[in-house]
Amino acid sequence: MISIKNLFEIGYGPSSSHTIGPAKAALYVKEKYTFAVYFKIILYNSLNLTGEGHATKESISRYLPDATYELKKDNKKHPNLFYIIPYDSNMNELDKIEFISVGGGLLLINGSPLIENDVYKETNFKDIKNYCINSKIGLYEYITKNEGDLSYMDEVFDVMISEVRDGLKKDGLLPGVLKVSRKAKALFLEEPEEKRNLISAFAYAASEENASSNLIVTAPTCGACGVIPAIVYYLYNYENVTRKLLIEGLIIAGLIGNIIRENATISGAVGGCQAEIGSATAMASAMLTYINSGTLDMIECAAEISIEHSLGLTCDPVRGYVQIPCIERNVLAALRALDCASLAKSIYKNRKISLDTIIKTMYQTGKDLKAKYRETSLGGLALNWGDDEFNCW
Instruction: Please give the single-letter amino acid code of residue 29.
Output: V
362 lines the binding site for ligand SF4 (CB under 6 A): no
- H-run or E-run covering 326: helix 326-347
Helix (H/G/I), strand (E/B), else coil: 19: helix
224 lines the binding site for ligand SF4 (CB under 6 A): yes
Helix (H/G/I), strand (E/B), else coil: 393: coil
355 lines the binding site for ligand SF4 (CB under 6 A): no
270 lines the binding site for ligand SF4 (CB under 6 A): no
277 lines the binding site for ligand SF4 (CB under 6 A): yes
CB atoms within 10 A of CB 181: 13
Residues 325-354: x/- map of binding to ligand SF4 (CB under 6 A)?
xx--x-------------------------
Q: How far is the CB of 297 from ligand SF4 (least distance, A)?
A: 29
Q: How far is the CB of 386 from ligand SF4 (least distance, A)?
A: 17
Q: Which residues share a beta bridge with 245?
A: none
273 lines the binding site for ligand SF4 (CB under 6 A): yes
Q: How far is the CB of 206 from ligand SF4 (least distance, A)?
A: 12
104 lines the binding site for ligand SF4 (CB under 6 A): no
- H-run or E-run covering 153: helix 152-168
317 lines the binding site for ligand SF4 (CB under 6 A): yes
Contacts of 225 (CB under 8 A, 6+ apart): 13, 163, 206, 207, 210, 216, 217, 218, 219, 280, 330
53 lines the binding site for ligand SF4 (CB under 6 A): no
Residues 226-265: x/- map of binding to ligand SF4 (CB under 6 A)?
----------------------------------------
User: What is the helix, strand, coil percentage profile of the chain, to 5?
Assistant: 55, 10, 35
Strand positions, DSSP E, 49-195: 67-72, 81-87, 97-103, 106-109, 112-113
Instruction: Please give the single-letter amino acid code of residue 237.
Output: N
**Cis omega (within 30 of 0) for bond into 229:** no
Separation of alpha carbons 77 and 319, rounded Å: 22
Nearer Cβ to ligand SF4 (43/224): 224
Segment interacting with ligand SF4 (CB under 6 A) among 40-48, 61-69, 166-174, 318-326: 318-326
Nearer Cβ to ligand SF4 (147/375): 375
**Could you tell me if 316 and 381 are in contact, meaning their C-beta atoms sit under 8 angstroms apart?**
yes
375 lines the binding site for ligand SF4 (CB under 6 A): yes
Nearer Cβ to ligand SF4 (282/299): 282
Interface ranges with ligand SF4 (CB under 6 A): 223-224, 268, 273, 276-277, 315, 317, 322, 325-326, 329, 375
